[in-house]
A and B are shown apart, each in its own frame.
Chain A
Amino acid sequence: MNELRIENRSRREFLIAGAGLTLALCMPSAGAAAAGAGKLPGTFEPNAFVHIGTDNLVTVIVKHLEMGQGTYTGLPTLVAEELDAAWAQVRVEGAPADARRYNNLLMGTMQGTGGSTALANSFEQLRRAGATARAMLVAAAAQRWSVAVDGISVGQGVVRHAASGRKAGFGDLALAAAALPVPEQVSLKSPKDFVYIGKRVPRKDSKAKINGTAQFTQDVNLPGMLTALVAHPPRFGTTLKSFDAARCKSVKGVVDAFAIPSGVAVLARDFWSAKKGRDALVIEWDESRAFRLGTREIVRQYQALLDQPGAVARNDGDAQGGLRTATKQVTADFSFPYLAHAAMEPLNCVIRLGADSCEIWNGEQFQTVDQGNIAAVLGLKPEQVKLNMLFAGGSFGRRACTHSDYLVEAAHIAKASAGRTPVKLVWTREDDMRAGYYRPLYLHRLTAGLDAQDKVTAWTHRIVGQSIIAGSPFEAFMVKDGVDHSSVEGAASLPYAIPGISVDLHSPKLDVPVLWWRSVGPTHTAFATEVFLDELAHAAGKDPLQMRRGLLAGHPRHLGVLELAAAKAGWDKPLAAGAAGEKRGRGIAVHESFHSFVAQVAEVTVRADGSFHVDRVVCAVDCGIAVNPDVIRAQMEGGIGFGLTAALYGEITFNEGRVEQSNYTDYPLLHIREMPRIEVHIVDSQAQPTGVGEPGVPVIAPAVANALFAATGRRLHKLPLRLT
């Protein structure tokens, strides 16, 4: 039996959850009569991860949201591998909200998707689920054929006994297997026997997303359902004073309009009627407590904090002493704007109230938190809130909202309308972009000292920005000694061998709601640290790659991706020159996030007018065992494109408290013509697999900024990157 080792912090949690693992083989046609494994036939027990029907279909229950990152492919792969199923017989179903069975093992007792954890969480859990089902099918076959289990093999969904020439499909054995006890011990395959892991298997969600049949929340239609739009106040902290809905209610199709805590809700038979009705509302807001700062004022306040010591996140050696004795000092201030998630599907959900129950349809990312917040509004128990997890048209963290903002809004609408009909709450693009829960605005100051031999002896790093975690249910365990881990991750974990390192943090409070945004802390810390390290290389007269090599001796996985990206990019060869009037440059950056390691080399062309294009990106990633290399490549490609949008454009600004952006016209996304050629190289590794949804994102902006420096000699410390 292959010995499994879980080397991360979830070891204890896994064992607890693992012991409670349940699995059942059931017959879909029997409906509720599904037999729970180890239970009497006919006893209903909803199963955990695998159903096998008499129709020969293997249904894998996936507890992690599919929002593009490939969970509905990668997770079933793990089951199919150990079950030896044929990929074509595998189908996927989203798990219901039930944290007892479907908690994220890396989030303790909570059910939710985030932190690039889906595959890391599932690698052992789902292989074990598959292996257990396989063992029961084999046992059932052995019993039926009166042969020893040793002589039975399974491949591509067929159970065979070679000596007697007998064979059976999973469906033929499902009922017999369901009556058997669940084995306590199962062996897992040795990696050399993997059939699917390490190879491309096609995405399970491709077909439906290509022919228009994929069901997003936006597409849900229930009998009698009404569409709700809400008029939100123009500034955070504003409340409703009064409103006149007479004109609104005279719009054809409008059914009702009423106040809820977040504004005025309009219910109509369809979206367009609701929109027209909302436009016809006359509303007076109470702005006496409104947020009225502009971006400039926020930055000024933060700049003052850059001069004062903050809460200590890391203190190695004597950084201050090192700075005093340094022969050369380098310092730089960095600035990062608020960012909107701006997923293509604007926020929405469908709610239906029953007697003592509530049912929600949603691109559901944060089950346990959402159940609690919705239940609190409706006076229900959390388990009375049923959540149907649909595909999300992107999320990037937005649908994992610590306050469940849009879901709570829907609950208020349902409550105020006494649950007469199901309601689909739709936010327009403008509602979505102006609702807050942004990646916070941050300022950073970095200072480093070099000695007479140009060795870096001291590094100080101060960060100023709102805490994402403060005031959320996670505060108790994610904020320690005044330091929100998510504000400093990637800075406090600086891998470079420098004798004196200090990292400190200010977390000022502001009335702008903030939230994690794809790759969280590293969205800013990777930029500050990797651009600053490039500056130090320049100050030391060293090649940026050489400089990193010299400081990463104790970090083989950082070095591994760095060397791979540099080699594939041809770092040692000169970059081809540009056309007349154009300057070209190449930059490199490396960063670890969510336990995966990524290095990127970016090549840019700067035109005479100061505009620039990213031509090519060579990306190397080490995410442990590469379960599906094609999905990994896709996530690196997409992560780079997502990070480039932030590098080139992303910026939410305030003027007297009002958000100045509203749609893709003034909050642009990367267009196809701006997409560089991307090459992805995956480090061959037998380490435990880690996530890929986020780690590709934070590395591109510093790689591009460093390339712009190489091309122009201009060092950019501010995102988005502007040379003009």
Chain B
Amino acid sequence: MLTLNVNGTRHQVDVDPDTPLLWVLRDTLRLTGTKYACGVAACGACTVHVNGAPMRSCTTPVSAVAGQRITTIEGLQSKVAKVVQAAWEKLDVVQCGYCQSGQIMSAVALLTSNARPSDKDIDDALDGNLCRCATYQRIRAAIHEAARNLG
């Protein structure tokens, strides 16, 4: 049994300790907003926050994050997160939408630590988040929009 702290709730989970956090979130806790796409930390669709920092849950063994503060797309509460999501909606960033939870998790982490990111800061922070629909231009614009709205 492992104790996980996900979105402010403590869960006891009975899984093998090497199980990637992604599959515990999706299959055990039924938090399906975090997506499986590559399984090798090459695309960012599975990005969650661990103690506020973005992490690829598909290659993170669940035992490595037991007891730590895990946040998924379903648990975003901060002001930064709300402003980011509003900017995403205002600019209609999404297309197929499958990668967007991961994009938003990375964007929220970026803006939480850097209130006025440059294009280069955005490119660096979101370099590992792939979007096959190539919504990148709007992702950049939405992050700038959110930064403006956060003042």
Which chain A residues have a beta carbon within 8 Å of chain B's beta carbons? 67-70, 202-203, 205-214, 216, 218-219, 221, 227, 252, 270-272, 342-346, 391-396, 426, 428-429, 630-631, 634, 637-642, 644-645, 663-665, 669-673, 675, 677-678
Contact = CB atoms under 8 A, between A and B. Distances in A.
Contacts of A212: 31-34, 72-74, 101
Contacts of A210: 85, 88-89, 93-94, 100, 104
A176 B151 CA distance: 52
Contact of B134 (A208, A218, A642): A642
B132 A342 contact: yes
B54 interface: no
B14 to A, nearest CB: 10
Given A252-B16, A271-B27, A634 B35 contact: no
Nearest to B20: A272
Contacts of B39: 428-429, 663
B107 to A, nearest CB: 11
Interface in B56-114: 72-74, 76, 85, 88-89, 92-101, 104
Interface in B9-60: 15-16, 19-20, 23, 26-28, 30-40, 42-43, 45
Contacts of A211: 33, 73-74, 76, 85
A672 B139 CA distance: 9
A270 B15 CA distance: 11
B45 A344 contact: yes
A10 B101 CA distance: 40
A202 B38 CA distance: 30
Nearest to A392: B96
Nearest to B136: A675
Contacts, number: 179
Interface of B: 15-16, 19-20, 23, 26-28, 30-40, 42-43, 45, 72-74, 76, 85, 88-89, 92-101, 104, 122-124, 126-127, 129-140
Contacts of B89: 202, 206-207, 210
B36 A218 contact: yes
Nearest to A630: B92
A644 B132 CA distance: 11
B37 A665 contact: no
Given A344-B98, A344-B131, A669-B130, A634 B138 contact: yes
Given A213-B33, A219-B32, A664-B38, A272 B23 contact: yes
17 contacts: A68-B94, A68-B133, A207-B89, A208-B97, A210-B85, A210-B89, A210-B94, A212-B72, A270-B27, A272-B20, A343-B98, A344-B45, A396-B132, A429-B40, A634-B95, A642-B134, A672-B139
Given A344-B99, A391-B96, A429-B39, A637 B88 contact: no
Nearest to B86: A210
B23 to A, nearest CB: 4
Contacts of A672: 122-123, 126-127, 129, 131, 136, 139-140
Contacts of B16: 252, 272
B138 A345 contact: no
Contacts of B88: 206, 210
A205 B94 contact: yes
Nearest to B42: A664
Contacts of B101: 212
A394 B101 CA distance: 15
Given A391-B96, A669-B43, A669-B131, 7 more contacts: A205-B94, A212-B73, A271-B36, A272-B27, A641-B133, A664-B130, A672-B131
